[in-house]
Amino acid sequence: AKAAPPLAPSPPCSAMALFDHVATAPPDPILGTSIAYNADTDPRKINLGIGAYRTEVGKPYVLDCVQKAEEKVLAETGTSVNKEYSTIDGPPKLKTLTQQLIFGDDCPAVAEGRIASTQALSGTGSLRVVGEFIKTFMKPESHEIWVSNPTWGNHNAIFAKSGLAVKTYPYYKPETRGFDFEGMLGALKADVPEGAHVLLHACAHNPTGVDPTEEQWREIAAVMKERNLVPVMDSAYQGYASGSLDKDAFATRLFMSMGFEFYMCQSFAKNLGLYGERIGMLHVVCGSADAAKAVLSQLKMVIRPMYSSPPIHGALLVERILGDPDSLAAWKTELTGMADRILEVRSLLRKGLEEKGTPGTWNHITDQIGMFSYTGLTEQQCERLIGEHHIYLLKSGRISLAGLNKGNMQYMVDSVDEVVRACPA
């Protein structure tokens, strides 16, 4: 047989300029913090950037109830459990269980079929689906969403990528390191146009750890109801903030009881420790069962070209934990333990700084709630904590309290004291 002619030499790489114009993106501020931490060889280093729970000895934690659910799933794999594609919107049983968890066992909307629910790629995925749905199906004048200032760093990008106009309402008051209730209420009354969407953190506000009181929630809901504002609720910390699933659902159930139609984005990354499973739900509370059916059909049309169908493993775990009374009770116990550890860390950090006489006031550390604290440290102080003390945090002063424990608390207190004195605000 005649030999094939030799291949022509490849052109030099410099001639292949298809991607030369693509600039390198800046590192994500949160993920970039972890990269820098991992590269640091100092034995004293502390990572307070990433929002993931850690044990008292600083290790990632797989909940016991999750491990037991894994064993059940493994035992059923090959019989009642397989690796086929899920449906676009996830298992029907998962919908009912997660609705009852967030809205309450006795919620009329659940019984009446007025909630369109679909599994989603954790909280981020459910928010993205909401953005696409609003852009596609809601009236053009409602294509804007108001988020708190500050908010989780990804919120703005998610909604902007969906084609919505993203605007901010006041939320955090630096002078008190607390909630700017008057500022938020004033914006809802005067600045946010009727029919606009308003993003609300259901509990444990990220990044500030500052939540409205129950009475303040009632006033916020009343103003939103009067002005026909549409809530988009983000629930990432139910049960993890206070240790009580019901207490942390107060705001959600308040809006439900007042007859709102709204969106609820529900994540199980934090409260079940299923960070890498990407398991969440999107619930759309509608005025009728017929409306819910129509909304669900269109949510599936949004999801199909986006990622087609959700992953099954996280859904199987959540089903087995929420659907079994013993597993549910065990989870509640573990949640209380996780929340109590974070509350203890808050108490120890405040006590340490106050006893050391660190300049400033530190009551806000225990006034805030959830995984994060807005410390009030300046950017210069944060940079010094990173550069001189190997303590990694966001330059906004936000810290993840899960990274602290009794073993590193004194070093944290001493380091904060040093930077506050070295770089006065």
Please say whether the beta carbons of 47 and 34 come within 8 A.
yes
Set 211, 248, 270, 331: catalytic member: 270
Instruction: Extract long-range pairs of 290-294: CB within 8 Å, 24+ residues apart.
Output: 291/114, 292/113, 292/114, 292/115, 292/116, 293/116
Burial track 270-296 (b if 16+ CB lie within 10 A, e otherwise): bbbbbbebbbbbbbbbbeeeeebeebb
Q: Give the distance between the most distant pair of CA atoms in the chain.
A: 89
Set 89, 180, 211, 234: catalytic member: 234
Quote the tokens at residue 45: 């280093």
Rounded Cα gap, residues 291 and 116, in angstroms:
9
Reply yes or no on whether 234 is catalytic: yes
The separation between the first and the last C-alpha atoms of the chain, rounded to the nearest angstrom, is 82
Please say whether the beta carbons of 403 and 376 come within 8 A.
no
Reply yes or no on whether 270 is catalytic: yes
Set 45, 89, 146, 152: catalytic member: 152
Residue 73: CB partners within 8 Å, gap ≥ 6?
81, 313, 316, 317, 320
**Where are any strands of DSSP class E within 242-301?**
262-267, 279-285
- Could you tell me whether strands 391-392 and 279-285 are parallel, antiparallel, or unpaired per DSSP bridges? unpaired
Judged by DSSP in three states, 250 sits in helix
Catalytic residue numbers read 152, 234, 270
